[in-house]
Amino acid sequence: MNNPNPNRTRTRTAAPRLCTPAELAALVPDGATVAITGAGGGVIEADAVFAALEQRFLTEASPAGLTLVHALGVGDRRSRGTNAFAHPKLVRKVIGGHWTWSPEMTRLAADEEIEAYVLPGGVISLLLREIGARRPGLVTTTGLGTFVDPRQSGGRANASAIDTLVELVAFDGREYLRYRPFPVDVGIVRGTAVDPNGNITLAGEAAQLDALAVAQAAKASGGIVLAQVQRSRETPLHPQDVHLPRFLVDAVAVVPGQEQTYLGAHDPALCGDAPAPAYEPAAASPVRRLIARRAAEEVRTGDVMNLGFGISSEVVDVLAERGRLAEVTICIEQGHTGGTPLSGDMFGVCGGPEITVPSTTQFDFFTGGVLDATYLGMAEVDAAGSVNVSRIGGGIIGPGGFIDISQSARRVVFCGQFTAKGTRLTVADGSLRVEREGEVGKFVAAVDEVTFSGPQALARGQEVLYVTERAVFRLVPGGVELTEVAPGISVERDILPHMGFTPIVRDPKVMDPALFTTSTR
């Protein structure tokens, strides 16, 4: 947006000082609680500052004993993002919403070299906002009945984690969770440009996420805020383009080589400066696509909907191939509405979004009830209809925004294969055939960790469906009911023997044979 008064003089209030990334890293003291913003794919990741912090630690063994706080997964599963912090003694404690982007950090947690805590991604962002307003924590129903409920693990993810981060409270006879506030000593954020007054804009970024909440939390705690930007401006920003006011920022590093995302070069569509490209459905396996096709049958015209990672994200492809994208409004937790969602490691980024707001605002929208439906993945489902996606094989995954979203939507459709690890299936001629059964069943007697509570969903009155390639199940009072079976599949041979519990079986119907085609487009 053009400045209506480009000759406006700089204010007399001191602007943040300009520093190098190494100078910013030198400002982080030992033992600090450091809150960062960012998301997978390099979205508003202060990568140069992270790298400088890592280099300082490797050279000086300082800063040490940090507590790292992040709402979403940040990194590339190798060396970037939170991987820069994944060194013994550099961090003492991690409070994270999603962990898989840093395998080394999950190893430190598994080896009890750090205290590991996992909270819902939206909860962490909103808690930072509450800390920034000096309120007594975040009071919400988000997380009730899941592993973050203090009656379960309270978000503690390993034996070293002993702190109480969440407690059960009640108001007017209703249960809530109170996520307790904590001081933030350092906030690390990123933007596009800093103006002469020290104000920062994120207008060229692929999302805003919780950058403002991170900065607010640090300043309200008496801490410092360190920012990385791609360039400095000679003229003041238009007031509506200021996303991080100068009084929240202490020091700024200008990094000309800063990339918009891990994709590299600046793409104007990712920040809304260019229209979305025409949607081109990605190729996929026939099995994944048939699951997405069946899940898409639940989409209703006019829905405001959310999509998760993996098979569930392919519902967009199905809507595109059917010409139905214009019938719905797609919202993702990173703050975008509309546009063309990207997939894979760039999940959470949109080309040509219609609306972009901070992720904190988006999570407020979600918990406020705007979502008609959400389509999410599932690693395990149990007899109570509860779902686990946050701890697989004992390893920390984290829910990201899964808990915040799944508890808020009126309809929840979980998508995934019926079994895993070695499953071989043939989709042809309007039917499905199991060539080799998988070694791991996804329908178990009890999930390893409750990321979505079936009993709580029933109490909330949610409609819940579990869609697989060979069967569809529905959550009903009393448990999980088998409602549909794929053509060519035997309930007695291909379904019941591979479940850890016996579902309710009344009169399941046959899934539409038209779904079973080898076409992936």
pLDDT tens by residue, 396-452 = 999 999 999 999 999 999 999 999 999 999 998 899 999 999 999 999 999 999 999
Closest CA to 37 of 205, 208, 185, 181: 208
Contact 411, 462 (CB under 8 A): yes
CB count in 10 Å sphere of residue 242:
18
Question: Percentage of the chain surpassing pLDDT 70?
Answer: 97
Confidence of residue 345 (pLDDT cuts 50, 70, 90): confident
**3-state secondary structure (DSSP) of residue 307:** strand
Q: Which amino acid is at 119?
A: L
* 9-54 confidence digits (pLDDT tens): 444 457 889 999 999 999 999 999 999 999 989 999 999 999 999 9
Q: Strand pairing of 411-415 and 17-19?
A: unpaired
Q: What share of the chain is helix, strand, coil (3-state, %, to 5)?
A: 25, 25, 50
Q: Strand pairing of 200-201 and 193-194?
A: antiparallel
- Is the preceding peptide bond at 236 cis, omega within 30 degrees of 0? no
Calpha distance 39→81 (Å, rounded) = 8
- Indicate which residue of 333, 380, 449, 481 is catalytic: 333
Residues 253, 359, 170, 385, CA torsion sign: negative
Contact 39, 334 (CB under 8 A): yes
Element (H, E) at 457: helix 454-460
> Quick one: pLDDT at residue 519?
63
* 167-202 confidence digits (pLDDT tens): 999 999 999 999 999 999 999 999 999 999 999 999
- Could you give the strand order of the β-sheet that contains 186-190, starting from the edge strand earlier in sequence? 17-19, 251-254, 224-229, 186-190, 33-36, 66-70, 91-96, 115-118
Contact 520, 285 (CB under 8 A): yes
Core vs surface per residue 161-173: b (16+ CB within 10 A) or e: beeebbeeeeeee
Element (H, E) at 432: strand 431-436
Residue carrying structure tokens 């929240």: 248
Calpha distance 323→318 (Å, rounded) = 9
* Mean pLDDT taken over the chain: 94
Q: What is the mean pLDDT of residues 345-371?
A: 94
pLDDT at residue 7 greater than cutoff 60: no
CB count in 10 Å sphere of residue 7:
7
Residues 393, 441, 382, 430, CA torsion sign: positive
> Quick one: pLDDT at residue 3?
41
Structure tokens at 247: 């009084």
Active site (annotated) includes residue 333: yes
- Whole-model pTM: value is 0.94
**3-state secondary structure (DSSP) of residue 181:** coil
Helix ranges restricted to H, 85-120 = 103-110
Domains of the chain: 31-139+182-253 (3.40.1080.10), 286-515 (3.40.1080.10)
> Quick one: pLDDT at residue 13?
56
Rounded to 5°, angle at Cα 42 from 34 and 373: 95
DSSP assignment letter at 180: P
Distances from the Cα of 182 to the Cα of 68, 89, 150, 185, angstroms: 12, 21, 18, 10
Q: Is 364 exposed, middle or buried (CB count within 10 Å of its CB: 0-12, 13-18, 19+)?
A: middle
Residues 6 or more apart in contact with residue 117 via CB below 8 angstroms:
93, 94, 95, 96, 155, 156, 157, 161, 163, 165
Q: What's CA 2's distance to the chain center, in Å? A: 33
